[in-house]
Structure formats: C-alpha cells, structure tokens
Amino acid sequence: MSTSRNPDELRYIWRAWRDITGKPLREKYIRFVELANKAAKLNGFEDAGEQWRSEYETDDFREQLEELWDKLRPLYEQLHAYVRSRLRAQYGEENVPQRGPIPAHLLGE
C-alpha cells in the first residue's frame, strides 16, 4: 500500500486486510464491551464509558470536549477539504466523491 497508486489495487488490499483482521476480532470485541460494561455496573457506573470518563478530574468533561470540538471543527473541515482535493487530483473524481467520507484505502499508510 505504501507504493501503489492504483485505486483498484489499493481497494482490494484494504478490503482483504480488513476481512482478515477485522472479522475474526469482531466477536471478541463485542464480548470485551459486554464484560467491560458488566464490570462498570458492578462498580456503580452506568457503563464502561462513564467509568472511563470518571478518571478525569472534572464534572463537565463532556461540555469541555464539545467546546474544544467547536473550536477545532473549522480547522478539521479545512484539512478534510484539502486532503479531498489532493486525492481527487491524484485519483480522479470517479474514485474520490465530492461529498461524504474520503475512501480510506486511498489515504496510504
């Protein structure tokens, strides 16, 4: 993937890698989430996410993250647009749509 610039080859490699690595771990990950949530409930939390967030020394952690995202979003959107335009120039409009997610297999390593 680090040297190819053929979008069809990159798509094939990306999908094959995801099938080989992702599918076998899916059930294990689902079980991990179930066990993490069960342990969190036994420790008095609603779920594992609440337990993880409790490690931060603030009661308004979510609000702080939302405020930070509001500040970073314009930069993120500009960066996303720049990457899309460069990928469209490299791979063409037929491989990089004008809207929606950027195809991950074209992002390289």
pLDDT digits (tens, 9 = 90+) for 1-42: 888 999 999 999 999 999 999 989 999 999 999 999 999 999
| Residue at 2 is within a domain | no
Q: What share of the chain has pLDDT > 90, as a percent?
A: 89
- What residues make up the domain containing 83? 7-106
| Residue at 60 is within a domain | yes
- The predicted pLDDT at position 109 comes to 64
Overall average pLDDT of the 62-85 stretch: 96
- Exposed (0-12), middle (13-18) or buried (19+): which is 105, by Cβ within 10 Å? buried
Q: What are 23's two structure tokens?
A: 């599918």
- Structurally, the chain folds into a number of domains equal to 1
| Residue at 31 is within a domain | yes
- Exposed (0-12), middle (13-18) or buried (19+): which is 102, by Cβ within 10 Å? middle
| Residue at 55 is within a domain | yes
Q: Would the annotation count 91 as a binding residue? A: no
| Residue at 33 is within a domain | yes
